[in-house]
Chains A and B, each alone.
Chain A
Amino acid sequence: MVRVDIDGLENEARPRKGPALFQVRFHGRGGQGVVTAAEMLSVAAFVEGRHAQAFPSFGSERAGAPVVAFCRISDTEIRTHSPIAAPDAVVVQDATLLHQVDLFAGLGADGYLLINTTHSLDELGLGELAEGMRRDRLAIVPATQLALEHLGRPVPNAVLLGGLAALSGVVSLDAVVGAIKERFTGPLADGNAAAAAAAYRIVAEQQEEVASLATPA
């Protein structure tokens, strides 16, 4: 272990960022709770005893404008405050951004991709992109519909966190629900939690389907 000298006193050096670093980028539009999504994911990771950092991309915030937010999750203390250039996962809260913003910049072939849509990847024109990625790391979920169903409001952010939990396993559904209940109260908390659980099941089913296709009967 390296020693460091902080103002004359000896302290243990903080460990450097470990291999267990998971970085997520959220894309959406102003009003869809993009920043809140990143913050709630960080709370979910915190609840599970991990280090997490959520931050917005600090643009001029206005309803409907493209918004980006980030979340880093790590087993060790997170020192850096630079934006995430190469995310492990991208969450797209609004599929109409597909032709407007470079949503997949820095996302590797092993990356996770979760899209809020009622369309298929082919319908979205993402068939080619999907072929270059691991199918078990791609998921689509009708998060806005689920939000309308359970909340009566078209806000897909917390819902997608349930989907991300199923897709990546970076946090558990329980932790997502915990984060939702820390952020919201009453029917808003219950509705978001139920919608997140529904998204979790939808993505988990998609994963099972992909797994069964990959395994010859």
Chain B
Amino acid sequence: MLRQLEGSRAVAMAVAACRPQVVCAYPITPQTHIVEGVGEMVKSGELAGCEFINVESEFAAMSVAIGASAAGSRAYTATSSQGLLFMIEAVYNAGGLGLPVVMTLANRAIGAPINIWNDHSDAMAVRDAGWVMLFAESNQEATDLHIQAFRLAEDLSLPVMVNMDGFVLTHATERIDVPTQEQVDAFLPPFEPRQVLDPADPVTIGALVGPEAFTEVRFLAHAKQLQAIGRIREVADEFAQAFGRRSGGLVNSYRVEDADVVVVALGSILGTIKDVADEMRERGTKVGVVGITSFRPFPLEALHEAIGDARRVVVIERAFSIGFGGVLSTDVALAIADAKARISTVVAGLGGRAVPEASIAAVIEDAMADSLEALRFVDLDRSVVERELARMAGDRRSGPSAENVLRDLRAVASGSV
């Protein structure tokens, strides 16, 4: 049913339609509206058979989700940023144990400096935790991915994280086709756990594994991720048949045939990039766009196929590896290692900085002129950086850099927009 809804509300409705049995969460911006929405539905009785557990921290939230899932319940939680870091040990445990928890990550920057706004550094911090990591381009896709996430998680006995851009999607009110309970019930069968703690048939989950078997157990986790590559595709196809629209999958290509430059990205920035691509194509620049929906498992082959013979590849990332450069672009480079494409990492939109269409267009134009560096920071104010570097060089006690920069910009620390 078409509704005009805040993204968080639509996700809460989709999660509720999946009939989770245990939902546990600890509030953190910008994820809060989602679990508030689910909580309201539990309280009103709209979501029956679900226990909503208020926990004392994110570490407890993921630990409760692990316990609930191991006991055979469909478990869901959501978090962001520092909350994810606080639960990270349990995040690795859910991955390592292969428990099909579903979690929304409303993507937000990680401090210090503290920042509540959107980027992808939180997701990148748990890249290797053994979770399936999906990224939503729009609120429609965020809604749909949650339904696919429960299906995938339980099919594969793997935890699935649905990433949606904090504020940009979570707080945007848009037209969203919200799946009905009947549709979701027909698509998502009841949870049949592969492993379950049952007093009548006791097992141990989470035993010590020494050097004699650790490699094999780890490899099995990898093998399951490789199985997920096929399964993600199939589930997206089945979803398209059942719901009449495409969402999810491994990659999403847009106007890549004959493209001279292909822009690769994750998440909500893709919509803006597609608008830029259309405008630039009208002016004769052949731009294609590839969105990566499945970041883990990483779809090397599908991405290779999508990028095709494009000679220039621009990876726009809302995160970077400090002291190195791109995170996503390293993976993309591996996917097209045998092609002769020139690949650039473009870091944009950190800590909620807007990425205007003109900035994206400028990057693409530079790529077409072969003048785009291997690593570029979009709209970086170098004068501010140089001023602070000079201060550090000239004064041993130059003080905290973040506050110095704010003072230089005469910005208020609470964040002006």
Please determine whether chains A and B interact with each other in the same assembly. yes
User: Which residues on A are within 8 Å of B, measured CB to CB?
Assistant: 2, 4-9, 11, 13, 16-17, 38-39, 42-43, 46-47, 51-60, 68, 78-83, 85
Residues of A within 8 Å of B274, CB to CB, are 79
Q: Are B417 and A68 in contact (CB under 8 A)?
A: yes
* Chain A residues with CB under 8 A of B39: none
Q: Name the distance in Å between A35's Cβ and chain B's nearest Cβ.
A: 8
What are 18 A-B pairs with beta-carbon distances under 8 A? A7-B233, A38-B173, A39-B6, A42-B173, A46-B2, A47-B4, A52-B174, A53-B174, A54-B174, A57-B417, A58-B116, A58-B417, A59-B414, A60-B414, A79-B271, A81-B169, A82-B272, A82-B356
Taking the complex as formed, is B246 at the interface, i.e. its CB lies under 8 A from any CB of chain A?
Answer: yes
Contact call B4/A52, Cβ cutoff below 8 A: yes
- Complex contacts, B240 vs chain A, CB 8 Å: 9
List CB contacts (< 8 Å) of B248-278 with chain A. Answer: 248-257, 268-272, 274-275, 278
Q: Are A81 and B269 in contact (CB under 8 A)?
A: yes
Selected contact of A17 from candidates B167, B255, B275, CB within 8 Å:
B275
Using an 8 Å CB-CB cutoff, how does the interface string of B130-153 with A read, 1 for contact, 0 for none? 000000001000000000000000
Within 8 A of A (CB), among B365-417: 414-417
Please give, as numbers and ranges, the residues of chain A lying within 8 Å of B117 by CB-CB distance: 58
Chain B residues with CB under 8 Å of A85's CB are 356
Cα distance A60–B167 in the bound complex, in angstroms: 12
Q: Are A46 and B175 in contact (CB under 8 A)?
A: yes
By a CB distance below 8 angstroms, the chain B residues around A58 are 30, 116-117, 167, 171, 352, 417
Contact A55/B172 with A6-B252, A6-B253, A7-B250 known, Cβ cut-off 8 Å? yes
Distance of A192 Cα from B24 Cα, bound (Å): 37
Instruction: Kindly identify which residue among A5, A46, A56, A80 contacts B253, using a CB–CB cutoff of 8 Å.
Output: A5
Asked if A79 and B138 sit within 8 Å, CB to CB, the answer is yes
Besides A54-B174, A80-B357, 9 other CB < 8 A contacts?
A7-B249, A7-B251, A56-B171, A57-B417, A60-B415, A79-B270, A80-B275, A82-B357, A83-B354
Decide if A16 touches B275 in the complex (CB within 8 Å). yes
Question: A2, A5, A43, A56 — which one has the most chain B CB atoms within 10 A of its CB?
Answer: A5
Given contacts A16-B278, A55-B171, contact A80 B415 (CB under 8 A): no
Q: How far is the CB of A90 from chain B (nearest CB, A)?
A: 16
Given contact pairs A4-B253, A81-B268, A9 touches B171 in the complex (Cβ within 8 A): no
Residues of A close to B302: CB separation below 8 A = 7-8
CB distance from A202 to the nearest CB of B (A): 27
In the complex, which residues of chain A have a beta carbon less than 8 angstroms from the beta carbon of B167?
Answer: 55-56, 58
> In the complex, are the beta carbons of B171 and A7 less than 8 A apart?
no
CB pair A54–B278 under 8 Å, yes or no, is no
The list of the 3 closest CB pairs from A to B, nearest first, reads A7-B249, A79-B271, A46-B4
Q: With contacts A7-B233, A46-B4 known, is A78 near B174, CB below 8 A? A: yes
**Residue B168, interface by CB 8 Å:** yes
**B364 sits at the interface (CB 8 A):** no
Do residues B251 and A80 form an inter-chain contact, with CB atoms below 8 A? no
- The interface residues of chain A lying within 8 Å CB-to-CB of B250 are 7
| Given A6-B253, A58-B117, A43:B272 Cβ within 8 A | no
Q: Give min CB distance, B15 to chain A, whole Å.
A: 21
Residues from chain B with a CB closer than 8 A to the CB of A56 are: 167, 171
Known: A42-B4, A58-B117, A58-B171. A82 touches B138 (CB 8 A): no
Q: Which residues of A contact B268 (CB under 8 A)?
A: 81
Give the residue of B116, B256, B352 whose beta carbon is less than 8 angstroms from that of A5.
Answer: B256
Nearest Cβ on chain B to A5's Cβ, whole angstroms: 5
Task: Name the interface residues of B199-255: CB closer than 8 Å to any CB of A.
Answer: 233, 236-237, 240, 246, 248-255
A195–B292 Cα distance when bound, in Å, is: 48
- In the bound complex, do residue A52 and residue B416 qualify as a contact, i.e. CB atoms below 8 Å apart? no
B residues with a Cβ closer than 8 A to A are 2, 4, 6, 30, 116-117, 138, 165, 167-169, 171-175, 233, 236-237, 240, 246, 248-257, 268-272, 274-275, 278-279, 293, 302, 306, 352, 354-357, 414-417
Most chain B beta-carbon neighbours within 10 Å: one of A17, A38, A57:
A57
> Complex formed: what's the CA distance from A39 to B4 in Å?
9
Nearest B residue to A7 by beta-carbon distance?
B249
A178 CB, nearest partner CB in chain B, Å: 11
Residues in chain B near residue A8, CB distance under 8 A: 233, 249, 302
CB distance from A101 to the nearest CB of B (A): 10
Alpha-carbon distance A78/B173, docked complex (angstroms): 12
- Whole-angstrom distance between the alpha carbons of A13 and B288 in the complex? 13
A82 and B355 contacting across the interface, CB-CB below 8 Å: yes
Please report the C-alpha to C-alpha distance between residue A30 and residue B4 in the assembled complex, in whole angstroms: 23
Could you tell me the distance between the alpha carbons of A140 and B250 in the complex, rounded to whole angstroms?
51
Point out the residues of chain B lying under 8 angstroms from A60, CB to CB.
116, 414-415
Tell me which of B2, B172, B246, B271 contacts A6 (CB under 8 A).
B246
Distance A55 CA – B70 CA, assembled complex (angstroms): 39
Q: How far is the CB of A185 from chain B (nearest CB, A)?
A: 16
**B253 surroundings in chain A (CB, below 8 A):** 4-7
Contact between A39 and B255, CB atoms less than 8 A apart: no
CA of A212 to CA of B116 in the docked complex: distance in angstroms? 51
Contact between chains at B172 and A81 (CB < 8 Å): yes
CA distance A74 to B269 in the complex (A): 19
Chain B residue numbers with a CB within 8 Å of A6 are 246, 249, 252-253
Name the one of A17, A54, A82 contacting B173, with C-beta atoms under 8 angstroms: A54
